[in-house]
RNA sequence: GGGCGGGUAACAAAGUGGCUAUGUGGCGGACUGCAGAUCCGCCUACGAGGGUUCAAAUCCCUCCCCGCCCUCCA
């Protein structure tokens, strides 16, 4: 099946065909680097990460470009406040912001072009725009003439006449039309400056994306995306600039990510409810956050709350339990039944379940990356697997290896089952020493105190207590282990522990 | 005012003409020393009112709410 994507340009789900067979070229508007990355950024980049992963799952080679805006009013203002050179300041935050996303476990884009390093490309594009009759110079500034570009408004569904009503010209600007926007801004004292055919100055905000995407991906490429808030004016202006300059269609498909709210409110500086990724990862696992975002449909605005994260975290537990059970069974050696060809009836049914799971997942994702539905198929597989284990306590290992393979592959597309990207709250050595202390209090000392060995010994101590019907002690050990983050389960085959 | 999206069970969130979505939570049962996990069963769903249809949460009409963008924003 082909992927269908809701295209902002056409306002419907279009079947996706890439320009170059087997290759997806996508450009996503990146961060303006003047403070740490926040969970709004996380929402958008996790969404595109999943989209990218699914394309790769489908066998595409994805070339993912995400720009860094390092020349901008806010950066300049923030840098001046601290008495730092704006470009030095933005360099510092470029690293910090990308590291924040790394910590979250978002896969890196292939390229992070910076505005400050693409000035020649921008100047060239502006010249082309002027030459084609869509831009004009006014006293060192260069503006894009909105009225001369007949397609203006096609992305955001706006029309110029309506927009003109509310628009204002800022004092000092020499626009012919209030909707015209700056391609190049005349130099002001204290701001980063580059020389240009129109005198010293710096680029306007919108031109960097048009220039960098066209120079890296070509005048026409597959997908351009960003947060919903960028649809107008940023993306509208990008289309106008690029198409005015090249005369060719710009991005073929536009994708916009629904903006995050926090406890029902818009996240903004004025409300003061901005949450940084760094801060949240102090108390929440990166995977829980990723899953929270991945579970929301990319075009809907998810509402962030501690309760929502807690719900996700519990659901994740069930995902992991099945993963662990499959791993256990996959490990088993069974010389009698080594191949899939010798399955029993219930096992054959489970084989069908695996196949259906995969088909449902793909159908969901092919339909405009419907991740809520994809997660539903994942959880359905969890339920069916549990039911299968119930009926079939010692399943064919080969079958389980197959199931595990599919399960992990799909999970990974949804950003689950990814190796931990940041240090867990309690370091293992700390936990080990606490366990050792605990074991000693029950009168046992072991030679090689690894965490596993200590836990095993504690479980044995607990087992002894249970045999003697000393449930007080048994419950005590369990409680203490639970407070250290271990879950203890008494099963028919004895007690087992797992990390929560 | 212009543009766009939405109102689904206790909460979150898919679906969009007939078939249990899913997750969390709650209740009851099985299992268990207890707990946990797991399984089984249950928990007044589709904003309101009309209409089309054998059949509507899903299509049409009217109405009522809510959010976002139009200024920098992922």
Report residue A289 as tokens. 């956050």
Q: pLDDT, tens digit, for every residue of A254-276?
A: 999 999 999 888 888 777 889 99
Question: Within 7 Å: CB of A358 and strand B?
Answer: no
Question: Within 7 Å: CB of A170 and strand B?
Answer: no
Binning pLDDT at 50, 70 and 90, where does residue A304 land? very high
* Strand pairing class (A253-257; A223-227): parallel
Nearest residue: Cα versus C1' of B40: A387
Distances (CA, A) of A349 to A102, A170, A329, A361, A384: 40, 69, 17, 18, 10
Q: What angle do CA A44, A46, A47 make, to 5 degrees?
A: 65
Mean pLDDT throughout A369-398? 94
Question: Within 7 Å: CB of A321 and strand B?
Answer: yes
Q: pLDDT, tens digit, for every residue of A79-115?
A: 999 999 999 999 999 999 999 999 999 999 999 999 9
- Note the CA–C1' distance, A167 to B1, in angstroms: 13
Half-sphere exposure of A123 (CA within 13 A, CB side): 15
Chain A, 405-464: which CBs lie within 7 Å of strand B?
A: none
What pLDDT does A497 receive?
Answer: 87
Is the model's pLDDT at A171 over the cut of 80?
no
Report the interhelical angle of A39-57 vs A286-295 (nearest 10°). 70
Chain A, 198-217: which CBs lie within 7 Å of strand B?
A: 205
- Note the CA–C1' distance, A62 to B37, in angstroms: 41
**Of A12 and A493, the one with more pLDDT:** A12
Question: Within 7 Å: CB of A487 and strand B?
Answer: yes
Nearest residue: Cα versus C1' of B38: A386
- Note the CA–C1' distance, A300 to B47, in angstroms: 19
CA-based nearest residue to A260, from A273, A251, A243, A241? A273
Q: Give the list of residues 6+ apart from residue A240 with CB closer than 8 angstroms, or none.
A: A134, A144, A146, A149, A151, A152
Report residue A200 as tokens. 């010293």
Q: pLDDT, tens digit, for every residue of A480-489?
A: 888 888 888 8
Question: Within 7 Å: CB of A48 and strand B?
Answer: no
- Note the CA–C1' distance, A389 to B9, in angstroms: 31
Report residue A233 as tokens. 């004016």
Nucleotide nearest A170, CA–C1', reads B71
CA-based nearest residue to A285, from A499, A57, A478, A429? A499
Question: Within 7 Å: CB of A159 and strand B?
Answer: yes
* Distance, CA of A78 to CA of A191 (rounded, Å): 12
Question: Within 7 Å: CB of A29 and strand B?
Answer: yes
Average pLDDT, chain A: 91
- Note the CA–C1' distance, A383 to B20, in angstroms: 13
Q: pLDDT, tens digit, for every residue of A215-240?
A: 999 999 999 999 999 999 999 999 99
What's the ipTM? 0.95
Nucleotide nearest A47, CA–C1', reads B74
Cα A425 to chain centroid, rounded: 22
Candidate from A49-53, A78-82, A128-132 with smallest mean pLDDT:
A78-82
- Note the CA–C1' distance, A17 to B48, in angstroms: 43
Nucleotides in chain B near protein beta carbons (<7 Å): 1-5, 11-16, 21-25, 32-40, 67-74
- Note the CA–C1' distance, A174 to B14, in angstroms: 50
- Note the CA–C1' distance, A388 to B21, in angstroms: 21
Mean pLDDT throughout A194-222? 96
- Note the CA–C1' distance, A458 to B57, in angstroms: 54
* Distance, CA of A478 to CA of A368 (rounded, Å): 46
Which domains does chain A carry? 4-257 (3.40.50.620), 316-413 (1.10.730), 428-499 (no CATH)
Question: Within 7 Å: CB of A268 and strand B?
Answer: yes
């Amino acid at each position: 099946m082909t992927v269908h994507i809701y295209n902002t340009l056409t306002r419907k789900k279009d079947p996706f065909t890439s320009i170059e067979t087997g290759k997806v070229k996508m450009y996503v508007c990146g961060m303006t680097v003047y403070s740490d990355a926040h969970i709004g950024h996380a929402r958008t980049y996790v969404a595109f990460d999943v989209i990218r992963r699914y394309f790769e799952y489908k066998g595409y080679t994805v070339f993912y470009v995400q720009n860094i805006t390092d020349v901008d009013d806010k950066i300049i203002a923030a840098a001046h406040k601290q008495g730092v050179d704006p470009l030095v300041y933005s360099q510092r935050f470029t690293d910090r912001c990308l590291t924040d996303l790394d910590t979250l476990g978002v896969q890196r884009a292939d390229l992070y072009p910076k505005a400050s390093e693409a000035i020649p490309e921008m100047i060239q594009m502006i010249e082309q725009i002027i030459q084609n009759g869509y831009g004009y110079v006014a006293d060192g500034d260069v503006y894009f003439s909105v009225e001369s570009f007949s397609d203006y408004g096609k992305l955001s569904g706006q029309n110029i006449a309506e927009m003109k009503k509310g628009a204002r010209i800022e004092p000092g600007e020499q626009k012919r039309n209030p909707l015209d926007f700056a391609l190049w801004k005349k130099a002001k004292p204290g701001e980063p400056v580059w020389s240009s055919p129109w005198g010293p100055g710096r680029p306007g905000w919108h031109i960097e994306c048009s220039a960098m995407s066209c120079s890296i991906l070509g005048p026409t490429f597959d997908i351009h995306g960003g947060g919903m808030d960028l649809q107008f004016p940023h993306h509208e202006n990008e289309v106008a600039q690029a198409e005015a300059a090249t005369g060719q269609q710009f991005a073929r498909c536009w994708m916009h990510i629904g903006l995050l709210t926090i406890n029902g409110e818009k996240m903004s500086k004025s409300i003061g409810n901005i949450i940084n990724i760094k801060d949240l990862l102090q108390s929440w696992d990166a995977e829980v956050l990723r899953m929270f975002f991945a579970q929301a449909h990319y075009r809907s605005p998810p509402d962030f709350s501690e309760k929502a994260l807690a719900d996700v975290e519990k659901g994740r537990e069930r995902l992991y339990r099945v993963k662990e059970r499959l791993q256990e069974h996959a490990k088993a050696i069974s010389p009698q039944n080594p191949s899939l060809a010798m399955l029993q009836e219930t096992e054959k049914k489970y084989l069908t379940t695996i196949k259906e799971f995969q088909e449902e997942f793909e159908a969901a994702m092919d339909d405009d990356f419907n991740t809520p539905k994809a997660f539903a198929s994942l959880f359905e597989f969890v339920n069916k697997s549990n039911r299968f284990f119930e009926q079939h306590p010692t399943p064919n290992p080969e079958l389980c290896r197959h199931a595990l393979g599919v399960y992990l592959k799909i999970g990974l597309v949804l950003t689950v089952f990814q190796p931990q990207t940041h240090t867990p709250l309690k370091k293992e050595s700390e936990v080990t020493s606490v366990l050792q202390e605990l074991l000693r209090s029950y009168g046992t000392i072991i030679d090689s105190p690894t965490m596993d060995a200590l836990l095993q010994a504690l479980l044995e101590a607990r087992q002894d207590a249970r045999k003697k019907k000393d449930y007080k002690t048994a419950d005590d050990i369990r409680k203490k282990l639970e407070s250290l983050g271990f879950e203890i389960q008494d099963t028919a085959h004895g007690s087992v522990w797992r990390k929560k």
